[in-house]
Amino acid sequence: MFSEIRAVFSRRYLLQNTALEVFMANRTSVMFNFPDQATVKKVVYSLPRVGVGTSYGLPQARRISLATPRQLYKSSNMTQRWQRREISNFEYLMFLNTIAGRTYNDLNQYPVFPWVLTNYESEELDLTLPGNFRDLSKPIGALNPKRAVFYAERYETWEDDQSPPYHYNTHYSTATSTLSWLVRIEPFTTFFLNANDGKFDHPDRTFSSVARSWRTSQRDTSDVKELIPEFYYLPEMFVNSNGYNLGVREDEVVVNDVDLPPWAKNLKTLCGSTGWP
């Protein structure tokens, strides 16, 4: 089995540097949590000398498996390869997520992908128009100027001595938000129900429309969610293929399959034409 190991990454678990993620030749990975960081180091030096694999232009050394995200970023050749368009935006973002410690094996540290487009209303989508793309220099909570002012004013006028001031009272990625995006497919349906006393969320909060979710992320002061990688490659997440009863919204719309933007004539269009080369 050791001969099947292709990469070893040090990971955090519950904010502690006590975990490892091992990637195998069959493209699966397993995450282990240990009592302390010293044990992590011992395990790394007991495993094959594979580093973090061969994809990032880094030496296959055990010290690389123990490197920090910043060290991996600075030492890797991936940014240069991306700038030369040798790898896609998707591949580069997956690289950043992976070295940052984000993993499919931990809902609390799930990979994050951004909202890229701003137009989910038109019948046709013109990808040559800059206005159809989101400003990626700003966090999701700062895209709407009025909402950005609200957050800034709340921070500046904060008077509660029991807690420090803050801009956002939620996060761009949480276990709950990840489960909400993936609620229609297993095992995430079961995870969601287990976390919510066996019940689905209120229909008006359930992911039911791409355009509706985008609008909420721009208007609701308690919603600054980004997306997940599956949004760009997994059409099954938009389909209620198991026929779950997800309820009826207050506008009397039955929550079933996710409503697509008008320009997305099918799921392949949505997942394949959203700004990723």
CATH number of the domain where residue 67 is located:
2.30.29
Residue 215 buriedness (CB in 10 A; 0-12 / 13-18 / 19+)? middle
d(CA 133, CA 142): 15
Residue 136's domain comprises 130-272
pLDDT of residue 272: 64
Same domain, 93 and 191: no
Structural contact between residues 100 and 76, judged by C-beta atoms closer than 8 angstroms:
no
Residues of the chain with pLDDT > 70: what percent? 98
32 occurs within a structural domain:
yes
Assign 276 a pLDDT band (cuts: 50, 70, 90): very low
Q: What is the mean pLDDT of residues 231-238?
A: 95
In angstroms, the Cα distances linking 77 to 56, 57, 74 are 6, 6, 8
Work out how many domains the chain is built from and give that number. Answer: 2
Query: What are 73's two structure tokens?
Result: 């970023």
pLDDT of residue 275: 47
pLDDT of residue 277: 43
Residue-wise pLDDT for 32-90, tens only, equals 999 999 999 999 999 999 999 999 999 999 999 999 999 999 999 999 999 999 999 99
Assign 267 a pLDDT band (cuts: 50, 70, 90): confident
Residue 152 sits in a domain whose CATH number is 1.10.1540.10
Residue-wise pLDDT for 166-194, tens only, equals 999 999 999 999 999 999 999 999 999 99
Residue labelled with tokens 């209620």: 240
Residue-wise pLDDT for 183-222, tens only, equals 999 999 999 999 999 999 999 999 999 999 999 999 999 9
119 occurs within a structural domain:
no
